Copies of this chain bind each other. A is one copy, B any other.
Amino acid sequence: MRLVIIGFGTVGTGLAALLRDRAAYLAGRYDFTPQIVGVATRSRGTLYAPDGLDIDALLAAHQGGSLRDYQGAASRDLDPLRLVGEAEADVVIEASHSNFDTAQPALDHCRAALRTGKHLVLANKGPVALALTELHNLARENGRQVRYEATVMAGTPALRLAEVGLAGCTISAARGILNGTTNYILEQMTGGLAYADALADAQRLGYAEADPAADVEGWDAAGKAIILARTLFDVPLTLADLQVKGIIAITPADIEAAAAAGERWKLIAEVSPSGGSVMPVRLPLADPLANVGGAINAITYRTDLMADVTLIGPGAGQVPTAAGLLSDMLSLLQS
């Protein structure tokens, strides 16, 4: 499997390192011997080598600040879109930054990948949230597939659970904790911290960005809710269709009132065939979602045959997200 990786930040470099470190295991257990033949970055250039890039040299050049300094034979400075289209590759990995306004330039990369006969695997949520139907249609026309496990709960297989594990069931709703940063902040507030202090704590630990708006205002979770709505129910929700409320307005008094009632605040994303929302909700402690701590994510599927089925695991991070991309590649092997 020859790979082109678009976006070489935390996730892309993590995937490269993972494929290097686990090469023997993946070859032995899955007969999977991927080669990275192309990499495109926003500001550090691009590389293309049809016979495969050396991952150590690739990571070294990237760390040095420019892929031009890659020690080895490769085409340098191809335009990313041309790289995607012209590369002799089996799979394009979209791991650049998520943009929910236009999904660009990633969406054009995705289109080019499918039109030129590559499978598409995404960690980038933008193209999935905004254009999943178009991408599926393009994939079908070209006999290829679109996979995006890493876009919801990173490598925790929320999408594979719905598609494969619960095959035969009808899912009527999904509700989950899809943002770890806010879950961490709410837990710290339950422990007595004020919102500002809990946020500072999350920033210090690297859970929250310097500008935390996407997390604390609920938009990151909303993007994932849209992906779930399209995947589970084929409902083309947009962010504007969702009721979205973050955790900013939650006060210590709110936290105390919930605790006094034997409940806990969680930022819950919920989707059903009739719509969706992201809202802080007081959950009774008997709800499996109420007990999900730290920066962990969780999702509960409501089904006809199995009642509620809940999956809990990491929802972010370099290695878990790379693991989600890897599991998608392995699923392509078998299809």
Chain A interface residues toward B at CB < 8 A: 18, 22, 25-26, 30, 154-157, 160-161, 164-170, 285-286, 288, 290-293, 305-314, 319-320, 322-323, 326-327, 330-331
Contact status B323-A305, CB under 8 Å = yes
Contact status A160-B156, CB under 8 Å = no
- Chain B residues contacting A319 (CB-CB under 8 Å) are 305-306
Q: Name the residue of chain B whose CB is nearest to the CB of A323.
A: B305
Q: A161-B157, A164-B160 are in contact. Are A169 and B323 (CB under 8 A)?
A: yes
Q: Which of B22, B286, B309 contacts A313 (CB 8 A)?
A: B309
Contact status A331-B292, CB under 8 Å = no
Q: Which of B25, B164, B322 contacts A331 (CB 8 A)?
A: B164
Q: Name the residue of chain B whose CB is nearest to the CB of A335.
A: B334
- Chain B residues contacting A290 (CB-CB under 8 Å) are 291
Contact status B323-A25, CB under 8 Å = no
CA distance A313 to B165 in the complex (A): 12
Q: Which of B25, B156, B166, B305 contacts A306 (CB 8 A)?
A: B156
Top 4 A-B pairs ranked by shortest CB distance?
Answer: A157-B165, A309-B313, A305-B323, A168-B326
Q: Nearest-CB distance from A154 to chain B (Å)? A: 8
Q: Which of B160, B305, B312 contacts A320 (CB 8 A)?
A: B305
- Chain B residues contacting A311 (CB-CB under 8 Å) are 161, 309-312
- Chain B residues contacting A308 (CB-CB under 8 Å) are 312-313
- Chain B residues contacting A331 (CB-CB under 8 Å) are 164, 167
Q: A309-B156, A311-B309 are in contact. Are A165 and B168 (CB under 8 A)?
A: no
Q: Nearest-CB distance from A281 to chain B (Å)? A: 17
- Chain B residues contacting A286 (CB-CB under 8 Å) are 291, 293
Q: Name the residue of chain B whose CB is nearest to the CB of A18.
A: B305
Between A18, A168, A290, A311, the greatest number of chain B beta carbons within 10 A of the residue's beta carbon is seen for A168
- Chain B residues contacting A293 (CB-CB under 8 Å) are 286
- Chain B residues contacting A161 (CB-CB under 8 Å) are 157, 161, 165, 311
Contact status B310-A313, CB under 8 Å = yes
- Chain B residues contacting A285 (CB-CB under 8 Å) are 291
Between A18, A157, A327, A330, the greatest number of chain B beta carbons within 10 A of the residue's beta carbon is seen for A157
Contact status B323-A306, CB under 8 Å = yes
CA distance A42 to B164 in the complex (A): 33
- Chain B residues contacting A30 (CB-CB under 8 Å) are 167-168
- Chain B residues contacting A154 (CB-CB under 8 Å) are 306
CA distance A302 to B76 in the complex (A): 41
CA distance A15 to B325 in the complex (A): 35
Q: Nearest-CB distance from A162 to chain B (Å)? A: 10
Q: Nearest-CB distance from A66 to chain B (Å)? A: 30
Contact status B314-A25, CB under 8 Å = no
A–B complex contacts, Cβ < 8 Å, 17 sampled: A25-B170, A155-B169, A157-B165, A157-B309, A161-B165, A165-B165, A168-B327, A286-B291, A286-B293, A288-B288, A288-B291, A291-B291, A305-B319, A305-B320, A309-B311, A309-B313, A310-B312
CA distance A170 to B169 in the complex (A): 28
Q: Nearest-CB distance from A148 to chain B (Å)? A: 14
Q: Name the residue of chain B whose CB is nearest to the CB of A294.
A: B286
